[in-house]
Amino acid sequence: MELIEKLQPNKKPLMVLGTSSGAGKSLTVTAIGRILKNSGEKPIPFKGQNMSNNAWVDWNGGEMAFSQALQAFACGIIPSSEMNPILLKPQGNSTSEVIHLGRSKGITTAKDYYKDWFFPGWEVIKKSLNSIYERYPNCRLIIEGAGSPVEMNLIHRDLTNLRVAKYLGANCILVTDIERGGVFAQIIGTLELMKPDERKLIKGILINRFRGDLSLFEEGKKWIENKTRIPVLGIIPWLNDKFPPEDSLDLLEKKSYATNPEIKVGIIKLPSISNFSDFDPLENEESILIEWVIESQDLNHYDFLILPGSKQTIKDQLFLRESGLTKEIKDYSNNNGNIFGICGGLQMLGTILEDPFFKEGSKTNFKQSIKGIGLLPLKTTFLKNKITRQINSESIWPKSTKINGFEIHNGVTELDSCQDTLKIKPIFKDLDLGWYQENSQGGTIAGTYIHGIFENDEWRDQYLNLIRKRKNIPLSDKKTRSYKMKRESIIENLANEFNKHLNLSSLLN
């Protein structure tokens, strides 16, 4: 039996475990972080290992999951890759890129991951925890688990659930989603599969997403407490506030709430889509209706079209070609369409994609060079080293304003000297961050490497007004409420709702 050494923090950490994936762990950590911040504590979020292509870049250029960055915002602190020391970025065929402390360390198959990366992963988790406590000795970690803590085929190599809980002696909350049904079996089954020393760490149970009259679950609450001898700390009602999903599969379930939209946006649902939180500012615009495009179709009913980021740009470009969407996108552009590409989407809008080091796929499956959509005279070459950095720049088009965001990409893009480049113009004063040009019918084709571009309120307003002008509808002259302020309001409301129904006092003392 392996003995796990223990760290002894000054303040007892809280850990949120779930009976399954999607039980509500991420939002629970976000809410608790804001509750503790508002009470005067110094909360810091932590997730030892996350698997997601929805990434964020810290101020040292380190990659981390966007969900931990959001939790850091809720805690009122600057996100750092130490808060998510292991990030696995899926890239298809049961392979993932391995990120340790913000830096890419290589590619692994699912079969080899636990054999090759388990012990280095545990060391980087411990290093991160020790570093956080050295800098913030009186902080209280709010830790998020992953999936279920009792996947019996994987539990001996689970880096991010009970191993972390035992290492820190954390007070654990077990969260379950009553909306899925079977909540009693989820709770009892999870606890029964734990060893006695693991079960002792579970100090409370949280019932999430309850619809209807909370008093109707009082008998259920008593039954759970009598059966488990663990208190039910709260029953959280169904909440409608929207947050970015961690898993791109959830995108198909997201609904736009615009009832009388002025602008209709189509976003291409690429197989290897990444950084889909880029579109949250658009989803929060009352005048915009967003639809996800998953197959070849007539695109002309959209006011503008977005090609999002991609973890496997060449693979996704081949998908566009084989599905017929490349032709549909070209036809849309030739019919006064407005197109905007972000990162991989920008690269695909160009004329050629070259991959001399096979950064975009295996040597057997993909060619070293393929044609892009061909709407912008740009050539992209995928190099060995990845560019990851925060961006502070200034836009030239559609107006001059300060711009913030971040980059994550291997490809380097430049003007294609074999094409007519007279019409293409830079979007930013940093000339390699994005380009645009008008098509023959008056629409625009534009693209940028900046993730988070739509979080820049003045820039977003001007771009949307450009669409309104071409649609011959009144321009928006109101001062748009800051997206980041709106996000803060949502976090605050989330924390207030949790605080009404969740009793944390017994876990904090």
State how far the alpha carbon of 106 is from the alpha carbons of 62, 89, 116, 160, in Å.
15, 11, 11, 20
Cis peptide before 85 (omega within 30 of 0): no
**What is the rounded distance in angstroms from the CA atom of residue 181 to the CA atom of residue 177?**
8
Secondary structure class of 276 (helix, strand, coil): helix
Largest CA-CA distance found in the chain, in angstroms, rounded: 75
State how far the alpha carbon of 457 is from the alpha carbons of 24, 310, 402, 453, in Å.
30, 24, 10, 9
Our answer to whether residue 451 is catalytic in this structure is yes
**What is the rounded distance in angstroms from the CA atom of residue 99 to the CA atom of residue 105?**
6
DSSP tag of 130: H
**What is the rounded distance in angstroms from the CA atom of residue 350 to the CA atom of residue 321?**
14
- Beta-ladder partners of 16: 144, 173
Our answer to whether residue 343 is catalytic in this structure is yes
H-run or E-run covering 341: strand 339-342
Residue type at position 246 = E
- Beta-ladder partners of 141: 44
Cis peptide before 137 (omega within 30 of 0): no
Per-residue burial over 238-252, b if 16 or more Cβ lie within 10 Å, else e, is ebeeebbbbebeebe
Q: How far apart are the first and last CA of the chain?
A: 32
Q: Is there a contact between 146 and 161 (Cβ–Cβ < 8 Å)? A: yes
* 460 C-beta neighbours (distance < 10 Å), count: 18
State how far the alpha carbon of 29 is from the alpha carbons of 92, 142, 353, in Å.
29, 6, 41
H-run or E-run covering 88: strand 86-90
H-run or E-run covering 172: strand 171-177
| 137 exposure class (CB count in 10 Å sphere: 0-12, 13-18, 19+) | exposed
Closest CA to 99 of 53, 46, 34: 53
Closest CA to 378 of 343, 352, 397: 352
**Cα of 90 vs its chain's centroid, Å:** 13
108-117 long-range contacts (CB < 8 A, ≥24 apart) are 113/88, 114/154, 114/157
Residue type at position 37 = K
Catalytic residue among 343, 409, 418, 501: 343
Active site residues: 343, 451
